[in-house]
Amino acid sequence: MKNNFIIINFFRVTDPYSGGSEVSYNFFKNIPSKNKILFQYSDNKKNYKNVKSIFIKNSKLHKVLNLTKLANEIKKYCKNKKKIVIIIEGASWAGYVYLLYQLLKNDLVNAKFIYHSQNIEYLIRKYKQNFLITYLTKYFENYIANKFDIFTCTSKEEKKIIDRIYGIKSDVLSNGIELPKNINRLKPIKKKYDYIFFGGNIDFYPNYDALKTLVKEIMPNVNNQNPSIKLIVSGNKSLPFNENFLVNVGFLSKNKFLKYLKGASLFVNPMQITFGVQTKTLHALALGKTIIATNDGVAGIKKNLRFNNIFICNNSQQFAQKILVKLKSKKTNKPVSKYYSKLYKMKNIVDKFFIKHNLLN
């Protein structure tokens, strides 16, 4: 008898619109089993194969109020099923996970619970939230880490921190990507001007912090020497900045995102607050882009030592100068990287994880 896999998301991941939603949905799609279903909160009523959506307004209050409904749907699906593996996606507040677990654990006593983390939420909350939310997040995350059968992290570097904070042995499950088969034929989006590219939803505070640094510190220095360079940003309906060099292209389809990335002169990631491997950086590496980043912007990534297209900067002035220098280079970018495309291919990552933990029997 084979396992039945139940994946749970507290936000919509179908038709991915962010790095977190893309990781979660691609993870689900690549689970090597037909016995799988995805439960998600959703703000649309579209139907998807093997997906059960709980339609709610996208607010924290509605997520809490609908937890009982979500739990009942899960228990209904699990009725008469013997071998159950529940994988709860962690790109949401740990409080939702804690409360849902309380609603499930007594009725699904033989189920295996896995927490698929995409970052260390408590440490990120420290930078943005008040003391109470930060304290509760640490309590909930610690509870999950010690109660669930498997608690994952995205890199060896992140594992050291999680294991130290919560006193556990977490398991590395890297973020991964999926490139379309026609990636080499996708035509880059070119503009009348050179542009550098940054992607990321600013509702995720580390993205906001990085974009603020780009807009307020790095790009003014760049434009002082080269006024024609633009900064194109994706992943947001609107931005709280209105500088002339800033171009907001909003939410993009995967193919259009890759076309903008291909057309960019450079990819930049000045993140200073982050935990977890950044999918935007993985995409840029896979496409052979020249990347200018902070150490945090490429944290946890297994770099290809055979050639270097990653340049680390420690402050905004260095960042601006490196952008100007690299824009003048004749060969700014390289072909699609087989190394990164294979190493971070989601199918390979999921297969390895499931085999390691003997989840397919």
Domain tally for the chain? 2
Instruction: Report pLDDT for 225.
Output: 94
Please indicate, yes or no, whether residues 312 and 351 belong to a single structural domain of this protein: no
User: Which residue, among 98, 57, 53, has the nearest Cα to 73 in the 3D structure?
Assistant: 53
Question: What separation in angstroms does the CA of 132 have from each of 91, 99, 302?
Answer: 20, 17, 36
Would you state the structure tokens that stand for residue 337, as one six-digit string?
Answer: 């990287």
Contact 267, 284 (CB under 8 A): yes
Instruction: Report pLDDT for 332.
Output: 61
Rounded-to-integer distance, Cα 290 and Cα 337, Å: 12
Instruction: Report pLDDT for 107.
Output: 96
Q: How many CB atoms lie within 10 A of CB 266?
A: 23
Rounded-to-integer distance, Cα 218 and Cα 197, Å: 13
Please indicate, yes or no, whether residues 134 and 213 belong to a single structural domain of this protein: no
Rounded-to-integer distance, Cα 233 and Cα 200, Å: 8
Instruction: Identify the band that residue 136 occupies on the pLDDT scale cut at 50, 70 and 90.
Output: very high
Name, in order, each residue with C-beta under 8 angstroms of 31's C-beta and a sequence gap of 6 or more.
Answer: 5, 7, 350, 354
Please indicate, yes or no, whether residues 311 and 349 belong to a single structural domain of this protein: no
- Burial of 343-359, coded b for 16+ CB within 10 Å and e otherwise, reads bbbbeebbeebbeeeeb
- pLDDT, mean over the chain: 92
pLDDT at 331 over 70: no
Gyration radius from the chain CA atoms? 21
Give the 3-state secondary structure percentages of the chain, helix then strand then coil, rounded to 5: 40, 15, 40
Global confidence as pTM: 0.91
Q: Is residue 282 classed as helix, strand or coil in its secondary structure?
A: helix
Does 228 map to a domain?
A: yes
Q: Report the CATH number that the domain containing residue 54 is assigned in CATH.
A: 3.40.50.2000
Please indicate, yes or no, whether residues 232 and 160 belong to a single structural domain of this protein: no
Instruction: Report pLDDT for 263.
Output: 93
User: Which residue, among 264, 267, 216, has the nearest Cα to 242 in the 3D structure?
Assistant: 216
Does 361 map to a domain?
A: no
State pLDDT tens for residues 251-308: 998 999 999 999 999 999 999 877 678 899 999 999 999 999 999 889 889 888 887 8
Please indicate, yes or no, whether residues 339 and 349 belong to a single structural domain of this protein: no
Instruction: Report pLDDT for 192.
Output: 93
Burial class (CB in 10 A: 0-12, 13-18, 19+), 12: buried
DSSP code, position 105? T
State pLDDT tens for residues 202-251: 988 889 999 999 999 999 999 999 999 999 999 999 999 999 999 999 99
State pLDDT tens for residues 104-124: 999 999 999 999 998 888 988
Instruction: Identify the band that residue 330 occupies on the pLDDT scale cut at 50, 70 and 90.
Output: low
Cα 330 from chain centroid (whole Å): 32
Does 220 map to a domain?
A: yes
Please indicate, yes or no, whether residues 244 and 254 belong to a single structural domain of this protein: yes
State pLDDT tens for residues 122-135: 988 887 768 899 99
State pLDDT tens for residues 8-48: 999 999 998 888 899 999 999 999 999 999 999 998 888 99
Rounded-to-integer distance, Cα 35 and Cα 333, Å: 42
Please indicate, yes or no, whether residues 196 and 322 belong to a single structural domain of this protein: yes
- Domain carrying residue 122: 4-176+345-356
Instruction: Report pLDDT for 91.
Output: 82
Q: What percent of the chain has pLDDT over 70?
A: 98
Name, in order, each residue with C-beta under 8 angstroms of 311's C-beta and a sequence gap of 6 or more.
Answer: 290, 291, 292, 293, 322, 326
Read off the pLDDT of each residue in 138-164 and give the average, rounded to a whole number. Answer: 95
Instruction: Report pLDDT for 244.
Output: 95
Question: What separation in angstroms does the CA of 71 have from each of 68, 77, 102, 145, 344?
Answer: 5, 10, 10, 20, 33
Instruction: Report pLDDT for 327.
Output: 86
